[in-house]
Amino acid sequence: MTKTEKVTYVIEKLESLYPETPVPLDHHNSYTLLIAVLLSAQCTDERVNKTTPALFSLADNPYDMAKLSLEQIADIIRPCGLTPMKSKGIYNLSRILIDKYNGEVPEDMEALESLPAVGHKTASVVMSQAFGVPAFPVDTHIHRLMYRWGFSNGKNVVQTERDAKRLFPKEKWNSLHLQIIFYGREYCPARGWDLRKDEITKTIGRKSVIKEWEKANGPI
């Protein structure tokens, strides 16, 4: 297969497996999505979804969040880890949204990235899923699969994002990044990976990756 054929194969395979792409983090507006994505750093979506109801019942907008103390926020979000950084980020970005953006989450990548505790990936998710602006947030699943599929060199997530945006049609970015995450979790995890069940990697994957798996597990 040429690289173009491989890209087409991946798109069609993922479309057939995941025709719907619900955002895995529970939220009901752009602000709660921003907070949920911030909390998901080095934490599972499942744990975030178990944690945010208590937080959002008290504050699902920056005005109410800014009324809480850092200690209150920290006590609620502690299960998500990185508590000091995340609690300060949530409180301080809420103050900035009030003071600078009339309590609204800005529909602007640069403005989002300037907020406390909001990195490029978090900003990209919000732009993509809250505002429908084409973006390609790269998490560990996407980084791993792009390497295994031979679409990126695996050097860093910045390069992986560049390669994904270069290879995949822009109109597909918002759904594709979620489809790849879903596929990675179900068929191509970092641990307990069974190549025999991973049709995409088995079909188009990097030869060195396939050989390494076969060396440890036997022929496909």
Give the domain ranges of the chain: 3-20+137-217, 30-129
Could you read off the pLDDT of 169-212 as tens digits, one per residue? 999 999 999 999 999 999 999 999 999 999 999 999 999 999 99
> What's the average model confidence in pLDDT over 19-43?
97
Backbone φ and ψ for 118, nearest 5 degrees, come out as -110, 110
How confident is the model at residue 175, as a pLDDT?
97
Q: What angle do CA 156, 78, 115 make, to 5 degrees?
A: 50
Reading the block at residue 203, the tokens are: 């079909």
Q: How many CB atoms lie within 10 A of CB 177?
A: 24
Please confirm, yes or no, whether 121 is among the known catalytic residues. yes
Q: Does domain 30-129 have CATH number 1.10.3720.10?
A: no
- C-alpha 45/C-alpha 39 separation (Å) is 9
Could you read off the pLDDT of 121-173 as tens digits, one per residue? 999 999 999 999 999 999 999 999 999 999 999 889 999 999 999 999 999 99
How confident is the model at residue 154, as a pLDDT?
84
pTM for the structure as a whole: 0.94
Task: Spell out the CATH class of 3-20+137-217.
Answer: mainly alpha
Mean pLDDT of the chain: 97
Cβ atoms of 142 and 125 closer than 8 Å: no
How confident is the model at residue 66, as a pLDDT?
98
Say which of 45, 75, 108, 139 is annotated catalytic.
139
- C-alpha 86/C-alpha 80 separation (Å) is 9
How confident is the model at residue 132, as a pLDDT?
97
The number of residues making up the chain comes to 220
